[in-house]
């Protein structure tokens, strides 16, 4: 008799455990940070400071915050009139959004799961998919992008931000006056940990060991994956946080971020359905 048991996604289960550890300790990226302005324009700038969703109507839109637990973004979407759904693998981060939404008196749908499987949602369910800094924790980016393309409505917008694939391979590798990639750019395996980077998360004086498994997905993987999922890429950006003129310690991660971009953003539009003849 054929077994019906589904194989365990070991990467997802490991990263779920690490994010639960981080969220319960209220580390960075697991809790709301700052406080958005009260005006609609101010809230949009707070959530989308580089204006990647400029011109995208949010009032009445169906928005999916993909792996968006823990922060302000889903609540701001709801405050701007969107019907908002948050999908995340971490129960604690979903609870954080639930509690924040209750305090802000907005309604948000919460769904827990692995972003590689969005089968809980019907085809063309969302006008906007907002996907911040989490693709790095998944081994199969193409599968995620295929799911995004399926749930995104024709004419809809997908905004992805994630770690820059080059810089991720360089963090923590400074030695003898320079950086050396920990793995080849062409390798798809997880980026190895170093003592200096990857295992210990820091918030002020608080330190927590939470070695997440991370993948530096290449530009060609992301762009071709989006195209195969029915999206047209209409924007790619590379950037680092902070001020490039700020003094940084030579060899530090912050120094590296002044030389190479820390993040990439890629925006896609779902192709409209062909007109009937």
pLDDT at 120 (0 to 100): 98
Rounded mean pLDDT, 218-247: 90
pLDDT at 198 over 90: no
Which ranges of 128-203 would DSSP assign to H, the alpha helix?
A: 141-151, 165-168
- Distance, in Å, from the CA atom of 223 to the CA atom of 90, rounded to the nearest integer, reads 27
**In the predicted model, what is the mean pLDDT of the chain?**
92
Residue 158 banded pLDDT, cuts 50, 70, 90: very high
pLDDT in tens, 62-82: 999 999 998 999 999 999 999
- Distance, in Å, from the CA atom of 140 to the CA atom of 135, rounded to the nearest integer, reads 9
- Number of residues assigned to the chain: 277
How many C-beta atoms surround the C-beta of residue 266 within 10 A? 24
pLDDT at 5 (0 to 100): 41
Residue 243 banded pLDDT, cuts 50, 70, 90: low
pLDDT at 262 over 60: yes
pLDDT at 204 (0 to 100): 82
pLDDT in tens, 89-133: 999 999 999 999 999 999 999 999 999 999 999 999 999 999 999
Domain spanning 10-30+37-45+56-165+214-245+262-270 has what CATH number? 3.40.50.150
Judge contact between 167 and 256, C-beta under 8 A. yes
Lowest mean pLDDT among 28-32, 145-149, 215-219: 28-32
What's this model's pTM, rounded to 2 decimal places? Answer: 0.92
Nearest Cα to 40, choosing from 68, 97, 78, 96? 78
- Per the DSSP assignment, residues forming a β-bridge with 84 are 63, 108
Nearest Cα to 179, choosing from 203, 196, 163? 196
pLDDT at 206 (0 to 100): 86
- Per the DSSP assignment, residues forming a β-bridge with 269 are 157, 232
* All structural domains of the chain with their residue ranges: 10-30+37-45+56-165+214-245+262-270
pLDDT at 196 (0 to 100): 59
Nearest Cα to 259, choosing from 154, 197, 167? 167
């Amino acid at each position: 008799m054929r077994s019906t048991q589904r194989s365990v996604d070991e990467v997802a289960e490991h990263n779920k455990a690490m994010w639960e550890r981080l969220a319960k300790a209220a580390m960075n990226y697991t809790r709301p940070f700052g406080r958005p302005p009260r005006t609609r324009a101010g809230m949009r700038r707070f959530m989308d400071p580089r204006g990647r969703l400029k011109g995208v109507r949010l009032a009445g839109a169906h928005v999916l915050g993909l792996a968006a637990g823990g922060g302000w973004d889903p609540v701001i979407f709801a405050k701007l009139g969107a019907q908002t759904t948050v999908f995340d693998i971490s129960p604690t981060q979903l609870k954080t959004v639930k509690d924040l939404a209750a305090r802000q008196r907005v309604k948000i749908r919460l769904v827990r799961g692995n972003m590689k499987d969005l089968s809980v949602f019907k085809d063309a369910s969302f006008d906007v998919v907002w996907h911040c800094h989490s693709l790095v924790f998944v081994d199969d980016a193409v599968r995620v992008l295929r799911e995004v393309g399926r749930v995104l409505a024709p004419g809809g917008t997908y905004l992805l931000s994630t770690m820059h694939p080059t810089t991720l391979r360089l963090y923590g590798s400074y030695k003898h006056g320079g950086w050396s990639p920990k793995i080849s750019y062409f390798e798809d395996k997880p980026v190895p940990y170093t003592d200096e980077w990857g295992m210990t998360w820091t918030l002020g004086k608080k330190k927590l060991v939470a070695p997440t498994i991370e993948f530096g997905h290449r530009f060609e993987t992301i762009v071709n994956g989006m195209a195969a999922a029915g999206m047209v890429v209409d924007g790619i950006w590379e950037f680092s946080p902070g001020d490039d003129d700020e003094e940084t310690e030579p060899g530090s991660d912050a120094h590296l971020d002044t030389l190479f971009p820390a993040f990439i953003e890629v925006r896609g539009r779902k192709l409209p359905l062909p007109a009937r003849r």
